[in-house]
A and B are shown apart, each in its own frame.
Chain A
Amino acid sequence: MTPIIAFRGVGKRFPGVVALDHVSFDLRQGECHAICGENGAGKSTLMKLLSGVITEHEGEILIRGEPAAFRGTRDAEAAGIAIIHQELNLVEQLSAAANIYLGREQRTPLGLLDDAAMEREAAALLAELECPIDPRTLAGTLRVGDQQLLEIAKALSLSSDVLIMDEPTSALTESEVARLDRVIARLRRRGVTILYISHKMDEVFRLADRITVLRDGRHVKTVDRTATSPREVTGWMVGREIADHGFHGVRSRGPQVLEVRRLTLPWPGHPRGYRLENISLALHAGEILGVAGLMGAGRTELLETIFGAGEPTWTGEIVVDGRPVRFTHPAEACAAGIAMVPEDRKRLGIFPDLDVAANVSLCGLRDAVRGGLVSRNREEALVAGPIRETGVKTSGPHAVITGLSGGNQQKCIIGRWLLAKPRILLLDDPTRGIDVGAKAELYQLIDRLCREGMAVILTSSELPELLSLADRIVVLADGRLTAEFSRAEATEQRILEAATGG
């Protein structure tokens, strides 16, 4: 049987970088094919080629045996290939139905928009996807999971038979993930071929028939799922078998530095009424407190409230070093020795127009001032410490920050905070979207900071990360603290039960 899509020696060079190098493999009609690889392995370049975003490349892409020459995304759409991007492409101010038919609006004989027809068909499409929303709802008001299904509905209305999904579960709740699994199963029964990009091994092994691993732009292997194991695939991704990161050496727990008592954060206009309710916890110097919880459980809100960066409407008590505090601005928390590395690196962390040195020096820039002016030499000396300590790989302090990998950018942000010499470090999902090798380095960094006496609160959407790093783990579910485990007691099973309220 002719493969529905065949890559034949596909390569793509950007100035100074080989993004893809002679990649060859096939997609079979109707299969679910997972593409795995670290960031920078070439996954997204490959998807951009296949969806017509990038038009020039080496080698050939055969679609149903015919060589394809896409001049743009429209050509790819016409060939039946649709892509669901990680960052969704919806017009938030338009209704769900209008988004599905955007650019292909149906019209009445008079040439006016035929909203009724579009809404009727949109409703049918959405119902098939278990997405019980009114097609007249504005796209911007939908939950992320529903927005994603909306994109899938759009792809189906284009009668696409190849669907590329780029890390589709990164922002979904457990129940939404389960629903997506069912949708994928249904799509496959219709004969849709699915190209599933993910680095979450559990998903890949639950859904995929075959797995292709890319590394440094090269094709490493394409194997049947049944013939391999998650550990083996991860090994191919990093080029080595990764050791189990367990930091089981004893840490010495110091005095209590932070206590949160009966913290409640109201949520006006929401049926639940609160974002956080009655949260109490304590943090000691030299320990890592893990905060587990599903997306939307209130992890970020908890850290932001402690840091003075969230809504100021909270009640309860936050005690730092025995003194009750109520920060109204992050600058105050910073002065009190608290640092926070926010969850969304691109949106909340880095300054794309500033260089590496300026990104790192921001929190300690006053130390580089001489006679009222910032001294360039002093600034370079200032950032050299954190850059070395966090192990940022950069060509120099004046390199462009956006040229660094995600892991190195994250190290820059941690380095920035080290200059403020904090005693309490709040890390909000610091390894999200970071490749496996850089993750291990970040774990070692966090462990070392903790051993040097820093108190750390770490949230993560990946349980193994919490289990290997944290001394204690508290679990949030829908804004409430539902369990606390010591490292010895904690297992993935128990944490998930507490997080899902089961």
Chain B
Amino acid sequence: MNPSVIPGRGWRLPRHELALLAATVAVFVVTGWLDPNHTYVTNWAESSEIILRNTALLGIIALGAAVVIIAGGIDLSAGSMVAFSATTCGLILMVCSEPGDKRLVTVGPLGIAAAIGGAMASGLLVGTLHTWLITSIRLPPFIATLATLVGLRSFARAMCLFVTKERWGSESQQINVNTPFFSWLKEHNVVITTGTFLVLAILTWLILSRTVLGRHLYALGGNEQAARLSGVRTDNVKWFAYCFGSLTSALAGIFLMADSSVAQPGTLARGYELNAIAAAVVGGCSLQGGVGTVPGTVLGALFLRLVIDAVSKLIKASADVYEGMIVGIIVALAVTLTQVGRFSRTGRTLFAGGRGLAAIPTIATFAGLLAMMSSGNVEAFQGRTGLVGTAVGMAVLAALAVIRWLEGRRTP
């Protein structure tokens, strides 16, 4: 990030965002070209819909994560919050439906409004709980939101069992939602989620870069003590940040429930919190607090989803298996790349000493195994996956060894 421009200010995109934009375009072009079916060209409408919808859902949660991270905190509870909000929404629909209607098709407009309002209110509730745990009980944010990450999902499941038993007489782990309004949401999910995401992004950008509250968020994250001593009501600013974080998850919960026509607290949105945090970090938010932008976070979410989509196209594996690996590698790479300058300035080396020596075969082994597994999905390599894996592993080994040798020559 260009150090002479403060984050979130001005119209020019700082360097980090520009690099991310270039990388996003590059991934798009390369995938469109390498993809044997050229889906981005032949079936561009469907491809863009999938990417847009997934980006919007990840991005909505990532915006919440970014605000909390900029304020110097962390919210690990997003995935459980999504499940909690969806369950709340489904249960209110159930209560508002006619008795005996297990598909919830009979809910009227008031019931729908109550369900959506209830889901959003559940976000406020959790955000307030987080703030209280963090400011009054003085739990570290990591611990407070770890507790709700574990606790909320379980709470939502218990709530689901309890209400279904009370209402229908038999316990159920999930609630099917076929209310016409939510079916309509599902039908138009691309336009609606993407539109909501864009509106939310603009709103968040305005708050962060153009309001007093936004400045206080950066001040709080950058130096909490100084902010307090400057008369900033830091605890209230935290309240906003954590409520915003939970509200975005609650919003995503409504969309996800509509998409799958079911509120299933046991499995819905598991692990989403980490992808959201990853998107914010790839987008340039610093976990130290005080640094980060909305354009960066939006690009971070888009970039992550695009790479996940690209991998699923190129190696024809189911995307969700590889998703975690992709996110992990990208986060590590993105943060490493922002530090490359520092590496060359301080003369620090990548593979110094015994640790560096041990890292080289480690990385080569992982690379070889990964190549072997992914080549299994490519026709040309079928039956020769072992060979491919070994070749890639050896190549990486050789390449890293050369890098180490070059580093060794540079620093006598």
Residues of chain B with a CB closer than 8 A to A348's CB: 223, 225-226, 229
Interface flags, A52-84, vs B, CB<8A=1, else 0: 000110000000000000010000000000000
- Stretch from B1-9, B263-271, B386-394 contacting the other chain: B1-9
Q: Across the interface, do A420 and B231 meet the contact criterion of CB distance under 8 Å? A: yes
Please state if B231 and A366 are interface contacts (CB–CB under 8 Å).
no
Q: Mark A225-248, 1 if CB is under 8 A from B, else 0.
A: 000000000000000000000000
Say yes or no for A347: interface residue by CB 8 A criterion.
Answer: yes
B231 touches A353 (CB 8 A): no
Q: In the bound complex, what is the Cα–Cα distance between A353 and B226 (angstroms)?
A: 13
Interface residues of B in 1-27 (CB under 8 A from A): 3-7, 9-10
The verdict on A376 contacting B9 (CB below 8 Å), with A331-B231, A347-B225, A354-B222 known, is yes
* Pairwise interchain contact A330-B228, C-beta atoms closer than 8 A: yes
A164 contacts partner chain B, Cβ-Cβ < 8 Å: no
Using Cβ atoms and an 8 Å threshold, which residues of chain A touch B223? 347-348, 350-352
Q: Which residues of B contact A56 (CB under 8 A)?
A: 347
Bound Cα distance A342, B230 (Å): 10
Q: Does B3 contact A351, Cβ atoms closer than 8 Å?
A: no
Q: Which of A275-283, A367-375, A435-443 has 4 or more CB atoms under 8 Å from chain B?
A: A367-375
Of listed B9, B221, B230, B233, residue having the most chain A CB within 10 A: B230
In chain A, residues 313-366, which have Cβ atoms closer than 8 Å to a Cβ of chain B? 329-331, 333-335, 340, 342, 347-355, 358, 361-363, 365-366
Contact with B along A396-433 (1 / 0, CB 8 A): 00111000000000000000100010000000000000
A369 to B214 alpha-carbon distance, docked (Å): 12
Bound Cα distance A330, B7 (Å): 26
- Taking the closest CB of chain A, its distance from the CB of B81, in whole angstroms, is 28
Tell me if B102 is interfacial: C-beta within 8 Å of chain A: no
Give the residues in chain B near A342, CB-CB below 8 Å. Answer: 226, 229
Q: A331-B232, A342-B229 given as contacts; is B6 within 8 A of A353 (CB)? A: yes
A349-B226 in contact (CB<8A): yes
8 A Cβ contacts from B200-226 to A: 206, 210-212, 214-215, 218-219, 221-223, 225-226
Beyond A348-B225, A353-B222, whether A416 also contacts B6 by CB under 8 A is no
Which listed residue (A349, A353, A372, A420) contacts B211, Cβ 8 A?
A372
Pick the residue among B9, B226, B228, B233 that contacts A351 (CB under 8 A): B226
Whether B5 pairs with A398 at a CB distance below 8 angstroms is yes
Q: For the complex, what is the distance from the CA of A297 to the CA of B316, rounded to whole Å?
A: 71
The 8 Å CB contact of A362, one of B10, B210, B230, B233, is B230
Beta-carbon contact of B6 and A55 below 8 Å: no
CB pair A309–B211 under 8 Å, yes or no, is: no
Q: Does B301 contact A (CB under 8 A)?
A: no
CA A330 to CA B222, docked complex, whole Å? 18
CA distance A307 to B9 in the complex (A): 32
B11 nearest CB neighbor, chain A only: A376
Q: Does B69 contact A (CB under 8 A)?
A: no
Question: CB-CB < 8 A to A330: which residues of B?
Answer: 228-231
CB neighbours (8 Å) of B210 from chain A are 373-374
- Which residue of B has the minimal Cβ distance to A335? B231
Choose one: B4, B211, B229, B232; the contact of A374 (CB below 8 Å).
B211
Nearest CB to that of B219 among chain A residues?
A351
By a CB distance below 8 angstroms, the chain B residues around A333 are 231
Cβ contact within 8 Å between A400 and B4: yes
A354-B218 CB under 8 A given contacts A365-B212, A376-B9: yes
Q: Is the CB of A353 within 8 A of B215?
A: no
Complex Cα distance A309/B222, Å? 19
Closest to B228 in A: A330
Task: Tell me if B290 and A353 are in contact (CB < 8 A).
Answer: yes
Give the docked Cα–Cα distance between A256 and B229 (Å). Answer: 25
What chain A residues lie within 8 Å of B228 (beta carbons)? 309, 329-330
Q: Select one of A340, A352, A362 contacting B215, CB under 8 A.
A: A362
Within 8 A of B (CB), among A373-407: 373-374, 376, 398-400
Task: Tell me which residues from 181 to 222 in chain A have a Cβ below 8 Å from any Cβ of chain B.
Answer: none
Chain B positions 26 through 42: 1 when the CB is less than 8 Å from some CB of chain A, otherwise 0: 00000000000000000
B229 touches A309 (CB 8 A): yes
Considering the complex, give the chain B residue whose CB is closest to the CB of A342: B229
CB pair A354 B229 closer than 8 Å: no
**Quick one: closest A residue to B214, CB to CB?**
A374
| Alpha-carbon distance A223/B222, docked complex (angstroms) | 44
Nearest CB of chain B from residue A409's CB, rounded to whole Å: 11
Residues of A within 8 A of B233 (CB): 329, 331
Cα separation A279 to B68 with both chains bound (whole Å): 42
Task: Please measure, in the bound complex, the distance between the C-alpha atom of A352 and the C-alpha atom of B219, giving whole angstroms.
Answer: 9
> Given the complex of chains A and B, what is the CA–CA distance between A71 and B214 in angstroms?
44
Whether the pair A369, B231 counts as a contact (CB closer than 8 A) is no
Contact (Cβ within 8 A) B229 A369: no
Residues of A within 8 A of B7 (CB): 353
How near does chain A come to B116, taking the closest CB pair, in angstroms? 26
Q: Nearest B residue to A402 by beta-carbon distance?
A: B3
B contact residues around A71 at 8 Å (CB): 411
Cβ proximity bits A257-293 to B, threshold 8 Å, 1 near / 0 not: 0000000000000000000000000000000000000
Whether A373 and B231, one on each chain, are in contact in the complex, defined by CB atoms closer than 8 angstroms, is no
Contacts of B214 in A (CB 8 A): 374
A340→B229 contact, CB < 8 A: yes
Name which of B218, B219, B229 has the most chain A CB atoms within 10 A of its CB: B229
B230 close to A369 (CB less than 8 A): no
What distance in Å separates the Cβ of A354 from its nearest Cβ neighbour in chain B?
5
B92 interface residue (CB < 8 Å to A): no
Q: Are A354 and B6 in contact (CB under 8 A)?
A: yes
A269 and B273 CA atoms in complex are apart in Å by 42
* Distance to closest chain B CB from A96 (angstroms): 28
Q: Identify which of residues 37-60 in chain A touch chain B, using a CB-to-CB cut-off of 8 Å.
A: 55-56
Is B277 interfacial (CB 8 A cutoff)?
no
B291 within 8 A of A: yes
The answer on a CB contact under 8 Å between A354 and B219 is: yes
Q: A358-B6, A373-B206 are in contact. Are A351 and B232 (CB under 8 A)?
A: no
A416 touching B230 in the complex, CB below 8 Å, given contacts A351-B218, A353-B291, A362-B219: yes
Say whether, besides A348-B226, A373-B211, A374-B210, A398 and B4 are in contact (CB < 8 Å).
yes
Q: How far is the CB of B236 from chain A (nearest CB, A)?
A: 9
> Roughly how many angstroms separate A218 CA and B230 CA in the complex, as a whole number?
39
Q: List residues of B (289-341) whose CB comes within 8 Å of A's CBs.
A: 290-291
A335 to chain B, nearest CB (A): 8
Cβ–Cβ contact B215 & A374, under 8 A: yes
B222 with A362: CB separation less than 8 A: no
Q: Which of B219-263 contact A (CB under 8 A)?
A: 219, 221-223, 225-233
- With a cutoff of 8 Å between Cβ atoms, the chain A residues found around residue B211 in the complex are 369, 372-374
Contact with B along A488-499 (1 / 0, CB 8 A): 000000000000
Distance to closest chain A CB from B296 (angstroms): 14
Query: Which residues on the B side are within 8 Å of A361 (C-beta)?
Result: 215
Please give me the 8 A-B residue pairs with the lowest Cβ-Cβ distance, nearest first.
Answer: A334-B231, A353-B290, A373-B210, A351-B222, A331-B231, A353-B222, A355-B6, A330-B231
Known: A352-B222, A354-B219, A355-B9. 11 other contacts (CB 8 A): A329-B228, A330-B229, A333-B231, A350-B223, A353-B221, A354-B6, A358-B6, A362-B219, A362-B227, A374-B212, A374-B214
9 A-B interface contacts by CB (under 8 A): A71-B411, A331-B231, A334-B231, A351-B223, A352-B222, A353-B221, A354-B218, A354-B222, A372-B211
